Chains A and B, each alone.
Chain A
Amino acid sequence: MSESVVVVGAGVIGTAVAWRCAQRGLSVTLLDPAPERGAWHAAAGMLAPITELHYTETPLLHLNLDSLTRYPSFAAELSEEAGQPVGFRECGTVVVAWDGADLAALQDLHAFGARLGVESSLVTGRELRALEPALAAGLPGGLLAPGDHQVDPRLLHAALLEAGRRRGVTYVPSGASVVGDASRVTGVRTDDGTVISAAHVVIAAGCWSGAISGVPAAAVAAVRPVKGQTLRLRLPGEPVLRHVLRGAVKGTPIYLVPREDGQIVVGASSEEAGYDVQPRAGAVYELLRDAQSLLPELSEAVLEDVSTGLRPGSPDNAPLVGASGVAGLIHATGHFRNGILLTPVTADGIASLVATGELPDVLQPFAPTRFSPAEVPA
């Protein structure tokens, strides 16, 4: 009999881990009471290690870059196995500055990135208009990152569920509590009391990962919910944007992600609001205000959707991937802003860990056990 794996959480990370494990011939059960609650549902799907670079997060850059290189084959293989598209677009990303101070900040960040060897180039205001003619007039300049792309998380998630199903993943629409003791986890218990035994339990429950009952205290994941809101708009006629568009408007980050079908995803707020997922008027207003200041035509768009998701934030903004410190329990969570981007490397890494006991080197710095007990939610 093949070795068994239970994956708790059917967001993009959980479904991808389940699919990759099933591909390796493992017997996989996937549990989630409500997969659409996942952060993926609101996520824009930017695959942007370069324009998502932060001064204090250089270890994450290398992981993000690694996962991006996996995307073309990951997307192609997934699309083939699921028989449906995933919306992967190699469109590049343009970052625009709103005023001189935003441009100065962008120039500093560009210099920092250049020292780390990432590929991007500064562009003038006129060059910006040539790249994206629909941009507001008079923007002082920006940056072109030709390697930062996008995927459609809603298509991606549907394809991952379907590919898993075709590979024999058993999906159970239920919550889960972990079964075992302080030294070993042996399976999970579903909401109706059924116990599913497994050699490996993978926690991929996003921001809820730290709140799953039965997890030994020493192995509780250090994650918290960080609310994010995104909007989906549509302009009639030809697509107005060629690239993913990002910017800082008077210091506040904003992005516009153009889908193949003409939809534009605008995001995102970042709010420490607990598990609340109600849309907040001020966040919608600020997103529309800043998006329109970069792309004036947006005022005529149809507002199709307001989505709210809860990112799984970790203390250092980097994911928790690998052994939890308790035998039989593995974490694949805490991906914060980069869950969609980090899906391939996480799924490949966890499948490798489960099947061979080896976690790829690139994931070694992101051990779930790197935080002090004080940093883990009580």
Chain B
Amino acid sequence: MDDVFSIAGVELASRLILGTGGAPSLHVIDETLAASGTSMCTVAMRRVDPTTSGTILDVIDRHGVRILPNTAGCRTAREAVRTAQLAREALETDWVKLEVVADERTLLPDPIELLDAAESLVAQGFQVLPYTNDDPVLARRLQQAGCVAVMPLGSPIGTGLGISNPHNIEMIVAEASVPVILDAGIGTASDAALAMELGCDAVLLASAVTRAQDPVAMAEAMALAVRAGRLARTSGRIPKRFHAQASSPTEGMAVL
């Protein structure tokens, strides 16, 4: 059966989206993209020069992977909007992963600046994918503002702490009218699988792969985890029971 994942009407073959921050070399990114099977990769516009050849943008292009520019490093709505505009000019895409963080200690999204920036960018015709707190109300407001996806964090960027409030993620999923992409906090494969089991449409991760000792093998692990989690989500898991229930029936057993 078809299990199509699409954002703003664009189908993406993989539910794993990669970030490249922290990768040790272009060669590793190259192999990681292949091992992950990803179809979209996000790049910090503040950390790459689109006019130079031989950079990460060329590596991603070569794989036929869609580039999702992001506004990492921005602290105000004004900065984020400007960065998105530069990305649109340089990369000729209306898509932007909107990131507006409050401070460098937590790197948590600033909800007020984020919503301001989202409204402004939507009005300018951008397809906005906001990196947001795991706050169901903020996620709702971002959808009302016209964002084409919401990207709640599992835990703060780079912590690898996994999904610290699974119930909030479930609540965001339950009322979402756009794809929900778990973004930030993934440490290992089981975190990615859990995100998918909770009903997220996709997972975005960077450090968990780029800073792993063997990034290429970890990329493959994440691809498998996302696929496993998605299959489990759509396969109808069994209810949790307090008492045991034997998997083999006991009726009709021979009396020996």
Report A's interface with B, CB cutoff 8 A.
54-57, 108, 112, 210, 222-225, 251, 271-276, 313, 315-317, 374-378
Cβ contact within 8 Å between A315 and B51: no
Cβ contact within 8 Å between B54 and A210: yes
Residue of B nearest to A109 (CB): B213
The stretch of B22-30, B109-117, B134-142, B145-153 in contact with A is B22-30
Contact of A274 with B214 at beta-carbon distance under 8 Å, contacts A56-B25, A224-B55, A317-B25 already known: no
In the complex, the number of residue pairs spanning A and B with C-beta atoms less than 8 Å apart equals 60
Cβ contact within 8 Å between B53 and A378: yes
Residue of A nearest to B216 (CB): A56
Cβ contact within 8 Å between B48 and A272: yes
B47, B52, B62, B158: the one contacting A224 at CB < 8 Å is: B52
Residue of A nearest to B26 (CB): A315
Cβ contact within 8 Å between A55 and B24: yes
For residue B215, CB closer than 8 A to chain A, the reply is yes
Cβ contact within 8 Å between B54 and A272: no
A56, A222, A376: the one contacting B24 at CB < 8 Å is: A56
Cβ contact within 8 Å between B30 and A315: yes
For residue B56, CB closer than 8 A to chain A, the reply is yes
Interface size grouping (class) on chain B: 20 to 34
Chain B residue numbers with a CB within 8 Å of A375 are 26-27, 30, 54, 59
For residue B79, CB closer than 8 A to chain A, the reply is no
Report B's interface with A, CB cutoff 8 A.
24-28, 30, 47-49, 51-56, 58-59, 62, 158, 213-215
* Sample (6) of A-B pairs whose CB atoms are under 8 Å apart: A55-B214, A56-B24, A56-B25, A57-B24, A316-B27, A375-B26
10 further contact pairs, Cβ within 8 A, besides A272-B49, A377-B58? A54-B24, A55-B213, A222-B54, A224-B53, A272-B48, A313-B26, A315-B27, A374-B62, A376-B54, A377-B54
The CA of A55 and the CA of B25, in the complex, are separated in Å by: 11
Chain A residue numbers with a CB within 8 Å of B215 are 56
Interface class of chain B by DSSP = loop
Cβ contact within 8 Å between A276 and B49: yes
Residue of B nearest to A272 (CB): B48
Interface class of chain A by DSSP = loop
Chain A residue numbers with a CB within 8 Å of B158 are 251
Cβ contact within 8 Å between A272 and B24: no
The CA of A106 and the CA of B51, in the complex, are separated in Å by: 36
Residue of A nearest to B50 (CB): A274
Q: Write the nearest CB–CB distance from B246 to chain A, whole angstroms.
A: 43
Residue of A nearest to B27 (CB): A316
Q: Write the nearest CB–CB distance from B74 to chain A, whole angstroms.
A: 12
Cβ contact within 8 Å between A272 and B27: no
Chain A residue numbers with a CB within 8 Å of B30 are 315, 375
The CA of A377 and the CA of B49, in the complex, are separated in Å by: 14
**Closest 3 interchain pairs by CB?**
A377-B54, A274-B49, A316-B27
Residue of B nearest to A289 (CB): B104
Contact of A274 with B25 at beta-carbon distance under 8 Å, contacts A55-B213, A251-B158 already known: no
Chain B residue numbers with a CB within 8 Å of A313 are 26
Q: Write the nearest CB–CB distance from A212 to chain B, whole angstroms.
A: 14
Chain A residue numbers with a CB within 8 Å of B55 are 224, 272
Q: Write the nearest CB–CB distance from A312 to chain B, whole angstroms.
A: 11
The CA of A126 and the CA of B131, in the complex, are separated in Å by: 42
Chain B residue numbers with a CB within 8 Å of A223 are 54
Cβ contact within 8 Å between B49 and A56: no
The CA of A247 and the CA of B29, in the complex, are separated in Å by: 25
Chain B residue numbers with a CB within 8 Å of A225 are 52
Chain A residue numbers with a CB within 8 Å of B28 are 56, 316
Residue of A nearest to B53 (CB): A377
The CA of A375 and the CA of B48, in the complex, are separated in Å by: 17
Residue of B nearest to A316 (CB): B27
Q: Write the nearest CB–CB distance from B245 to chain A, whole angstroms.
A: 42
The CA of A121 and the CA of B47, in the complex, are separated in Å by: 35
Chain B residue numbers with a CB within 8 Å of A376 are 54
Cβ contact within 8 Å between A224 and B213: no
Q: Write the nearest CB–CB distance from B20 to chain A, whole angstroms.
A: 10
B24, B51, B58, B213: the one contacting A317 at CB < 8 Å is: B24
